[in-house]
Amino acid sequence: MDTDRVANSSDTIKTSAKKASQRLTPEIVDEVDRLLAGRTRDIRLSADLAGLFRARSWSSTAKIIRAWMAWVIVLDVLTLAVNAVLLSPGSVVPMLAPASILPPVALAVGAVFLKPRPLWMQDTAIQLGMFLILLSVALVAVNAGGEYYERHLTIMIFVAVTAIIIFPIPLKWSMSIAVFALSLYLVFQLQNPDIRTGSALAGALFFASGVIATLVARRTANILAHKTFLLELRDRARLAELTDANSRLELLARTDPLTGIANRRWMMETLNRAWSEDLEPMKGVAILMCDVDHFKQLNDSLGHGEGDRCLVKVAGIIQSSLRDERDHVARYGGEEFLVLLPDADGQDASTVAERIRSRVEAASLPNPSSTLGPYVTVSIGLAAYKRGGESVSSEMLQRHADKALYLAKRAGRNRVVIYPADAREVQR
């Protein structure tokens, strides 16, 4: 029980470490270190790292895409409104059909990014959606005709460029958007009766240079985002290692290395916490001081190795004899153990103490040099504080339990002495 309590003292840290290192296998950590050791421009995420990156960035990516889709719907409506003012009704009406394609497509793409979807579905939604959106803007240009023909195709290029710049998506998706936009621009410009073929090609090349520059910027932004992500993963891995090491050190600092139960330091901290809280809601609190009888003779006759095994077994017996998770046991020093029994009166504590004493005796652990018999026994001093009684500090209660233990030793060992009632009997 107390081994678990000592471990639980660092549970919060361990949980943080576990979250920090979640899904970071040694292979992934090695891959992160390898990529960060190279040049930034050469960073290429593996499939596992790409999956982690998408999982981390999906929420922000989805918000950006949904916001852009809302913006393009507003732009579509505003464009129609401006055209309705500037153009005659006969020119505006043909624009309505192609313009009506855009809002439902944009809404559908936004709906796909309302929650995480398979990668192929996101890919399809972006590429098909962007193609239809760009086609809608281009068809509006065709139907507008005249000076608005080229103007609306330029708007289409603008729409595509904003998507390439803003969407934090894989580069190949951005390249598809660029190809859609330039292809539509060139095809519809070649059909524009108001410009020559050379002018259409020149315009396409002009916009292509700008789109390519945008793609280069998008690639750079992606690489920098990937590097930031890799640095974050490396920091998480190092934090997990450091936290785990600190947890182990904390556990070692609070655990007796031989018996595996709590050590004296941890017990003193527990006692201080217990007394800093209000003891009144409890019916009392008790301390047991348990000492292995004739332990020096055991070491002298059987050796220190057998003595260590004896202490481990006695610690286990004490631990198994406690009532529940409320009780605590620690190796106080040498062959001495301290037991804290919160919410226990003298009768409860006496029952636990006698259970410990009898179980140790029944375990038949060898101690051939003991004057009490061939087996290991323990003496126990008990001191209890009863609710409503005279105030007592943890140090004073320990001294009382220690005095009761001394009297138990003097009275013949292998017994439980309660302070002060039994103490007076022993002194007589």
- Which active-site residues does the annotation give? 335
Instruction: Spell out the SS3 assignment of 73-129.
Output: HHHHHHHHHHHHHHCCHHHHHHHHHHHCCHHHHHHHHHHHCCCCCCHHHHHHHHHHH
- 23: phi then psi, degrees, rounded to nearest 5: 65, 5
Tokens read off for 196: 């020559």
Tokens read off for 88: 């005659």
Tokens read off for 237: 């891995």
The residue whose two tokens read 């009406």 is 93
Specify the length of the chain in residues: 428
State the Cα–Cα distance between residues 213 and 295, nearest whole angstrom: 83
Q: Strand pairing of 378-386 and 262-263?
A: unpaired
CA 26 and chain centroid, separation: 17
Calculate the alpha carbon distances from 173 to 128, 137, 210, 385 in Å. Answer: 11, 20, 17, 74
The residue whose two tokens read 């259409």 is 200
